[in-house]
Amino acid sequence: MLLPWEYGVRNLFRRPIRSLLTLAALATVIMLVFLMVGFIRGLEQSLVISGDPDVVLVYSVNSEESLENSAIAARTPELLTSSLSGIVQRFGVTHISPEMYLAARVRTQDGHSGFGLVRGVKQTAPLVRRSVRLLEGQWPGPGEVMAGQLASTKLGTPVESLDIGRTIEMEGQAWRVSGTFAAGGSGYESELWCNLGDLQTAAKRQDLSLVAALLEPGASVAEIQLFCKQRNDLELRAIRETDYYASLQQYYRPVRMLAWVVVTLVAAAGVFAGMNMMYGAVSGRIRELAMLQAIGYRRRAILTSLVQEGVILAAAASLLAGAIALVFINGLAVRFTMGAFVLRVDGVAILIGCAVGLTIGVLGALPPALKALRQPVATALKAV
């Protein structure tokens, strides 16, 4: 026969201070789990969203996976347009975007400075980068930049430092912020966009970093890849954009694995913290547990009741930590080597966090409960 459900619940309220301290400790541990899982989910989501399956990237074969190190001939867009037939053309406009992509030190008007990601583009960029939409302001003109909504996070500066009308210093020149844009959570949101010609002049370069082309429905990237192989003098490589960001996921795999290791260590620390708290809670109830055995309750029933108390506290801590994570962690922008992204406390993160919390409740309560119930009843009834 099991003890009544209300018995375990009432025991939690008989020692409110101890229960609150245990609840706070468990909630802190589970909060750290939410933080790390939110980091992993945010990084993965940013890389997945950034890729467009209809866009192919053409860049230097010597740059490996870093577009910042790519340098290709300025005539590459014209060669692709004249030699290939699978690129979208509408109303006489070829959907191809020549771009320069580099990291530069940016100094804001209020004195803050940091390394930002700058992309020089032409007016055809929105035709290819279809996720980009202007939030306010206007497309950058001569001497102007358009800031992604996470660009200030990447720079490590206040959001208002990139307000429309503000001035920034970059590549030895002053630039005026003309607008802000969003890109559906992709990596573009951490960048500064400006006119390609202006950026080439400021950086004293006439080459390009990459060319992005929008393919027609059903068109194959193999034709562009064949062109790159045939033109050995250009030293080009072509890859579908989704495949490029999939390769970045593999590149950042050690970071994600390290984050999962941290989650495991935090969970293990939570189990030990739960055991420590439960040892203190059970040690003061030795005579109570012995009395329950004396009146006829089996050790299995008493063990179940103690585990029930731990699970109730862990479930309450999971709900509390989940609510705090959804309010304060979800959507929080963080800097990273690839730019910036927001933490994602989604359904997967909630499931993992709550599962860890309940596991801590069960594993943390079992060892102290088993130790207390091993004592003979007569000896336990004399315990002080």
Query: What pLDDT shows up at residue 281?
Result: 66
pLDDT surpassing 60 at residue 144: yes
- Taking the C-alpha atoms of residue 43 and residue 41, their distance in angstroms, rounded to an integer, is 6
- Which tens digit of pLDDT belongs to each residue from 39-56? 999 988 888 888 899 999
- Which tens digit of pLDDT belongs to each residue from 246-285? 888 887 888 888 888 988 888 888 777 767 776 666 666 7
Higher pLDDT, 92 or 344: 344
Q: Where are the domains of the chain?
A: 5-48+252-381, 55-216
Please indicate, yes or no, whether the overall pTM of this predicted structure exceeds 0.85.
Answer: no
Dihedral over Cα of 213, 218, 224, 225: its sign: positive
Q: Are 103 and 115 in contact (CB under 8 A)?
A: yes
pLDDT surpassing 90 at residue 129: yes
DSSP string, 79-121: HHHHH-S-B-EETTEE-EEEEEEEEEEEEETTS-EEEEEEEEE
- Taking the C-alpha atoms of residue 336 and residue 143, their distance in angstroms, rounded to an integer, is 28
Nearest to 182 by CA among 155, 159, 148: 148
End-to-end CA distance of the chain: 28
In 19-41, which positions are buried (b, 16+ CB within 10 angstroms) versus exposed (e)?
A: beebbebbbebbbbbbbbbbbbb
